[in-house]
Amino acid sequence: MQFIDLKAQYLQLQDKINGRIRGVLEHGKYIMGPEVSELESKLSEYVGVKHAVTCANGTDALQLALMAMDIGPGDAVFTTPFTFFATAEVISLVGATPIFVDIDERTYNIDHLRLEAAIEEIIDASELVAKAVISVDLFGLPADYEKLEPLCKRYKLKLIEDAAQGFGGEINGRRSGSFGDIATTSFFPAKPLGCYGDGGAIFTNSDDLAKKIKSLRIHGKGEDKYDNIAIGINSRLDTIQAAILLEKLAIFPREVDARQLVAKKYSDKLKDKVVIPYVPPYFQSSWAQYSVLAKDSEKRKELMAAYKKQGIPTVIYYSKPLHLQGAFEYLGIKEGAFPISESVSQRIFSLPMHPYLCEKQQDKIISVL
């Protein structure tokens, strides 16, 4: 059994994807070919924002967002320690300082009350300037934007939605990728919408930010790439990846629906065995991961071993919160600083989740618990 079955999806789309790739081989515009702009317009339509700008991966998408907002040394950027490393990595990479804020114990997303306290603390007692928040839609569940958007407005902070996992999620019909000043996503193969390599995108309603990002992703180009008006990076989405994504995006809404059915069945059957994922009213998760909590780390070990014995893969996202990673030792944050993130990281693990998981496979996965 596969944790995420990309082959099952390919078998459904084989002819279409092969045809699209052949199309690129025939026209030969491998960089910024016509499929790239076709994809950008379809992505912006799907998400419901004015601009979608593709780039080389989800990490670059976050970096480009920070660069376009002129965030750098002396700036504080708030985020959660319970996420993939890249979310906080880019903050340090542009020279700013990550300020971690613990998560909500039910949603695993940034806790808006603790965020407000952390913002106040930086304003009162730090030389850093509070500039932005990067909220993460962890495991596919959108962060609480009904709270985060007004909060960031009140403190004049920029809000960046890291929707690398959230793409396909919704709040009240509003889609992930449309929250905050800028949203970013990743097309890494295992993400809800993945390509066959690395890829990413940035979403915004701001003409000014979109223009800056389009320049920054091609060496800070002006009129063309030999006219340079800013220090940028080289971060384009390959035309072949755009061609593949066009076919995958066409069936993506159906896949998101199929994931809801898988998640519902898991939750119905497992709710008395482990702590199942919490989805607040009016929220929809894209189910990038279906993650459950065991009672403690010993119990988790036992359950994961039982799965392994049955040939069923399970994975821990994430076993070490970011403030305890060696790379962030320089921030001087001690164990115990973010008790919820630390406790969840000891107990959480994820079950196989993808739109092509059949009933029989799911029954087998459920029966182990």
Ligand X SMILES: *Cc1c(COP(=O)(O)O)cnc(C)c1O
Question: Pairing mode, if any, of strands 97-100 and 75-79?
Answer: parallel
Phi, psi of 63 (to 5 degrees): -65, -45
Residue 135 in the binding site for ligand X (CB under 6 A): no
Which token pair is 352? 């196989």
Report 228-247 residues binding ligand X (CB under 6 A): none
Selection from 138, 94, 137, 99 nearest residue 116 by Cα:
99
- Please check whether residue 56 is in contact with residue 260, taking contact to mean a CB–CB distance below 8 angstroms: no
Q: Give 221: exposed, middle or buried? Use CB within 10 Å, 0-12, 13-18, 19+.
A: middle
Options 164, 246, 303, 324; binder of ligand X; rule CB under 6 A: 164
Report 77-96 residues binding ligand X (CB under 6 A): 83-84, 86-87
- Dihedral sign from CA coordinates of 180, 215, 198, 37: positive
Closer to ligand X by CB, 188 or 203: give it: 188
Residue 200 in the binding site for ligand X (CB under 6 A): yes
Residue 362 in the binding site for ligand X (CB under 6 A): no
Closer to ligand X by CB, 143 or 365: give it: 143
Selection from 79, 69, 90 nearest residue 156 by Cα:
69
Closer to ligand X by CB, 57 or 204: give it: 57
- Please check whether residue 107 is in contact with residue 141, taking contact to mean a CB–CB distance below 8 angstroms: yes
Residue 198 in the binding site for ligand X (CB under 6 A): yes
Within 10 A of 159 (CB to CB), how many other CB atoms are there? 21
User: If binding means CB under 6 A, how many residues of this protein chain bind ligand X?
Assistant: 15
Which token pair is 157? 């902070």
Amino acid at 285: S
Closer to ligand X by CB, 84 or 290: give it: 84
Q: Of the listed pieces 5-13, 51-59, 208-216, 261-269, which binds ligand X according to CB under 6 A?
A: 51-59
- Dihedral sign from CA coordinates of 119, 120, 124, 125: negative
CB of 217 to ligand X, least distance (A): 14
Which token pair is 186? 């990743």
CB of 190 to ligand X, least distance (A): 8
Q: Of the listed pieces 16-24, 103-111, 157-165, 173-181, which binds ligand X according to CB under 6 A?
A: 157-165
Closer to ligand X by CB, 81 or 362: give it: 81
Closer to ligand X by CB, 233 or 366: give it: 233
Options 82, 100, 108, 188; binder of ligand X; rule CB under 6 A: 188
Closer to ligand X by CB, 80 or 284: give it: 80
CB of 288 to ligand X, least distance (A): 7
d(CA 240, CA 245): 9
Residue nearest to ligand X (CB): 58
- Please check whether residue 122 is in contact with residue 128, taking contact to mean a CB–CB distance below 8 angstroms: yes
Binding site for ligand X (CB under 6 A): 57-59, 83-84, 86-87, 136, 162, 164-165, 186, 188, 198, 200
